[in-house]
Amino acid sequence: MIPPLTDAEFHEISEYIHSNYGVNLRKKRQLIEGRLGIYVWSLGFGSYHDYFMYAMKDPLRREFSNLISRLTTNHSFFMREKEHFEFYRDQVLPWVDAELGDSDLRVWSAGCSSGQEPYTLSIVTLEYYSNNGNSTRSSLADISGGGDSVAPPVADTVILASDISEEALIRARRGVYPASELDALPEAWRGAWFERVGEGCYRVSDALRANVAFKRSNLLDAFGARKPFHLIMCRNVMIYFDNETKNRVVNRFYDALRPGGYLLIGHSESLSPGASGFDYIRPSIYRKPL
């Protein structure tokens, strides 16, 4: 029988997640029960507290990573809020290419989930520079700040993708998606950037994969990028933060961007007026002053 979530257990779990990861679950009791209940019961635990203690005491932190993934991972898909990718293609990349003359492009997909967002960014980037007779070069160590979760530097790596969930990153690194998830992509993209690997499944090409670096990262932790970013995408993530946490993360994004760099958030999100130094460009799009 699925154990009931007591008030004390709800407080214990929600407060820990908020204090350490910024995710506000204080009004998400049903979410915790829905995402953990059957799982806790299937492992043989008689209470959420017993399972929480088990996850906390796991010396390898694998079970705790699983817990975080269950409570924080969001649904993602290719070309979500496609206007952002069009803005990146039509405004951000020309600015980097023409005004800055900067071939060392740095983009951060913060809260990348299972990888659809950074891979879409990678396609747009490679298509843009291919059409404009250019190529991009960037050291993976420069954009990620190093760390043992990042692969060695490779040529043409420009997209850093981070998430709090190791399980989500495993799926993202694998880069295998059902054919139905590719329906939103142009047919030419599906043929050029994906290969069939089984019945109804497709994997991103090696060229596309080489352009993306994945890193596990908590947005509340300091991020040691060695060079500033031209663009940060953090979409439909901060809706789970309270205002104090959200402003803290936004200010870190501000510091991580170069002057003139852009921050793109979800269409249902907005920045509090006066809470940061960003200039408002249009709904969900902000820019650090030059």
Alpha-carbon distances of 167 from 25, 54, 67, rounded to whole Å: 20, 18, 10
Confidence of residue 155 (pLDDT cuts 50, 70, 90): very low
65 shares its domain with 95: no
The CATH number of the domain holding residue 169 is 3.40.50.150
Do the domain assignments include residue 78? no
Name every residue whose Cβ is closer than 8 Å to that of residue 51 and which is 6 or more positions away in sequence.
36, 40, 43, 45
CB 290, CB 259: distance < 8 Å: yes
Decide: helix, strand or coil at residue 247. helix
What does the mean pLDDT of the chain come to? Answer: 84
32 shares its domain with 66: yes
Confidence of residue 149 (pLDDT cuts 50, 70, 90): very low
113 shares its domain with 226: yes
178 shares its domain with 58: no
151 shares its domain with 219: yes
User: Which single residue is written with the structure tokens 């090409």?
Assistant: 205
Report the distance separating Cα 272 and Cα 278, nearest Å: 10
Q: What is the pLDDT of residues 273-287, one digit of tens each?
A: 776 899 999 999 999
Residue 146 has pLDDT above 50, yes or no: no
Number of domains the chain is built from: 2
Do the domain assignments include residue 200? yes
Domain boundary among 47, 72, 97: 72
165 shares its domain with 124: yes
Do the domain assignments include residue 77? no
Q: Are strands 212-216 and 159-163 parallel, antiparallel or unpaired?
A: parallel
The CATH number of the domain holding residue 48 is 1.10.155
State percent of the chain over pLDDT 90. Answer: 47
Q: When comparing pLDDT for 153 and 119, which is higher?
A: 119
Confidence of residue 102 (pLDDT cuts 50, 70, 90): low
Do the domain assignments include residue 133? yes
Q: State the pLDDT at residue 100.
A: 73
Domain boundary among 40, 72, 104: 72
Domain limits for position 264: 83-287
What angle do the packed helices 62-72 and 7-21 form, to 10 degrees? 90
Do the domain assignments include residue 1? no
Q: What is the pLDDT of residues 191-218, one digit of tens each?
A: 999 999 988 899 999 988 888 999 988 8
Q: State the pLDDT at residue 133.
A: 62
